A and B are shown apart, each in its own frame.
Chain A
Amino acid sequence: MSEPKKVDRRNFIYAGLGAVALIAIGAVAYVAMNPPVVTQTVTTSTTVPTTSVVTTTVPTTSPTSITIHQFIHANDPARQYEVAMPAAWAKVNPNIRVVPIKMPSGYTEGELLEVNTAKARSPDIDIFNIDVIWGPLFADNLWVEPLDDILPPSEQSKFIPAMIDSMTWNKHIWAVPWMYDQGALWYRKDILDEEGIKVPTVSEPGWTWDEFISICENLKEKYPDLAPYIVDQFKYEEISCIWTEILASNGGAFFDEDGLIRVNDSQGVEALQKWYDMVNKHKIFQPGTLSMQLDPARVMFVDDAKGIFHRNWNYVWGTSLEATSKVKGKIWVGAFPHFPGHQSAHCEGGWNWAISAGSLHKKEAKEYVKWLTSYDVMKAIMLAGGYSQARIDLYNDPDIQKVWEPAGVYYNLAKYTVSRPKHPLYLQISSFIQDRIHGCLSGLSTPKEALDGLADDLAKLTGAGISPLVKK
């Protein structure tokens, strides 16, 4: 056996010095990337009149130049948040500079980045851009600031109700809604006009699901080449959205007012049974509906003109005007059917601005968010071709209605939007919903079994009890 080699002292010292040098370089780099925080004294001044494209007023400004950082979507089509709004704000208040930071385009990656930044209470980001389903997560962990001061109840009433609801947690409001979306019933107006069928909006009595099924079955016979109802029912988030709508259209809910689980009560079972029947008994959906995702379904409706009704979000209208569309000027939007004695329910989607608890410039960030979500700014964004905004009166604004033709219907539907289950662990809840509901629609379980299973999942996850509304 050979003897172990002796360590050469000189090389050992060299290696040690090298390691120390590396650590020193790393420490210097770390300090350089994380400069010490300088506390700034901010004083208020008078109102600043604006001369920018957006006419509004700002209550306070800071004499010291401050930079705030805002997470924005990676692909804003009109570049409003990337270019136009920071520039307009700079004219309004040159002392508070806004630097937009693009989130990753992947949803999961964007969410993880925001959650990690928030959890660390990093001062790097002042304004978070959060999805409607993230509100309770950020609020429950106190990763963001309550915004009751810039969004009091009197101001909240001017926004889409469901969006305010989804950002309300523990009786506080935690973010200001900006981008608004909703599930809606798109349809071929040309065909239905010819058939003398008028699709209701919620301001009218509306269709029941049975009436809608009957209409679809009749249309299926008359138009065998068209799918009566095109819906993407792949196993993913859309399943949770659609289930929220159908459940609410029967007066059902995931939790009762005391936070107890009631998704498997009789209204829930009846609602899921109806959905199951639409898929498997009446077969009113396009073939392959259970494996089709959102955009292929939209393409089928818009670009291929292969359907009569279509469940989708607001973006369908814009795509119907594009060159690839075969239904330009032929589609319109209406209200979802509901169960007798109840009303339509439209799942909300969208994004909100929240102020990071780790921000060193909360006051300035609030000022910017307040300006950014003011009526005039939101209107300017919509007129410039930006995202649809969350103030409800915008959809009743004649200027908006000239550009956004279906805005009047959106205005009606917006009053009947519903939130997906509000819980800090929403993503996990949604995963359970998808497993159980998609399994039921695929014939793996009965509606009752699926909902009882979902109730068990929710009970295990949240620790909530079962509501007395659920009769054993």
Chain B
Amino acid sequence: MQSKPRIGEPLYLYFLPAIAFVGVFLLASIGDIIYLSFHYFRLASPLQENGIFVGFQNYWNLLTDGRFQQSLLTTVLFGLASSAGTVLLGLAVALLANQSFKGNSFYVAIMVLPWAVANVVAGRQWSFLLQPGMGLANYFLFYLGIIADPLKFSALSTPLGAFSAIVVATIWKSTPFIALILLAGLQSIPRELYDASEVDGAGMFSKFRYITYPLLTPFVNIGLLFCGLGAMGSLDIVYIMTNGGPGTSTNIFPLFLYKTYFMAWDFGLGGAASVFLMIFTMITFFFLVRSLIKYVVRM
């Protein structure tokens, strides 16, 4: 039998583990990063040079860094392209999964497979697929008439090709998760609405336009939210496939951050970049979440 809390029992004690967890692993980390962002701190420098207060110097260095500016632009483009692609493909996959047909369960099981693959493995796999000669993707592109010679074409060796490749790989990896969200959304739409519309003579497109689309929009927005967050934190696939190359053409912001921390060991600049990313993400998603809430309230 579950006992009721006694009057006067300090209930807040029950929250302590959660508060401690958030405090240690989130707030303290954020506080540490903010602290670092205002100090000089390089792992490769002598101890006595570290910890000197430098004001906004790290932020100034960051904002005037050409690689940072370029990585920000690349990240925005990467985020837009991969989010749009993932949601569109996820919607198509979810619409199919929502139909009744023989083998539906098998289809759903297959559908989620890319999600189960580790990002590093996915990156390596896509690199192999795109290798000239042995890469299957090249033959696919050849039969579609997109490239002339599958033995010589190397998508990852050109800026546009490499950017497209990381977008495609990210879409492939993220689609199952978004498709599941959208499938949940599709299954929450009352069947009666479709039945009634059929009585009124609505066709497939009309049903999608007037029933599915408006009722699924909150789920699409959630999907976009997750995709955008994923793009902001996407590192492994891009690191494996291009390491930001050719040149700096796929040097997305998380890669810039990784190199600042783990190649330059510049924790001051890395802290400033992290704070920037945090604020940038919060502002971006504030508007997205606000529009989502407004939409839900309106419904």
Give the interface of A toward B (CB within 8 A): 5-8, 11-12, 15, 108, 112, 115-116, 119, 137, 141-142, 234-236, 286-292, 296, 424-425, 427-428, 430-431, 434-436, 438-445
Contacts and interface: CB of A to CB of B under 8 A. Distances in A.
Nearest to A435: B248
A8 B44 contact: no
B7 to A, nearest CB: 8
Given A427-B264, A431-B259, A235 B10 contact: no
A265 B10 CA distance: 74
B239 to A, nearest CB: 10
5 contacts: A5-B10, A119-B47, A288-B154, A444-B246, A444-B247
B10 A234 contact: no
Given A6-B8, A11-B9, A439-B248, A291 B127 contact: yes
B151 interface: yes
A434 to B, nearest CB: 7
Given A235-B244, A435-B67, A108 B262 contact: yes
A11 B133 contact: no
A5 B262 CA distance: 49
A428 B264 contact: yes
A287 B151 contact: yes
Contacts of A289: 154, 157
Contacts of B127: 291
A136 B5 CA distance: 63
B129 to A, nearest CB: 12
B13 A15 contact: yes
B264 A287 contact: no
A65 B2 CA distance: 61
B43 A119 contact: yes
Contact of A11 (B13, B151, B246): B13
Interface in B40-78: 43-47, 67
Interface string B219-250: 00000000000000000000000111111110
Q: Considering residues A119, A137, A235, A434, which has the most beta carbons from chain B within 10 angstroms of its beta carbon?
A: A235
A141 B46 contact: yes
Contact of B152 (A108, A287, A296, A431): A287
Given A11-B10, A119-B47, A287-B152, A425 B264 contact: yes
Contacts of B130: 291
Contacts of B151: 287
Contacts of B264: 425, 427-428, 431
A8 B9 contact: yes
Given A8-B8, A291-B242, 10 more contacts: A5-B11, A6-B8, A12-B10, A236-B243, A291-B130, A291-B162, A427-B264, A438-B246, A439-B248, A442-B158
A51 to B, nearest CB: 45
Given A11-B13, A287-B153, A287-B154, A442 B159 contact: yes
Interface in B153-202: 153-154, 156-159, 162
A7 B154 contact: no
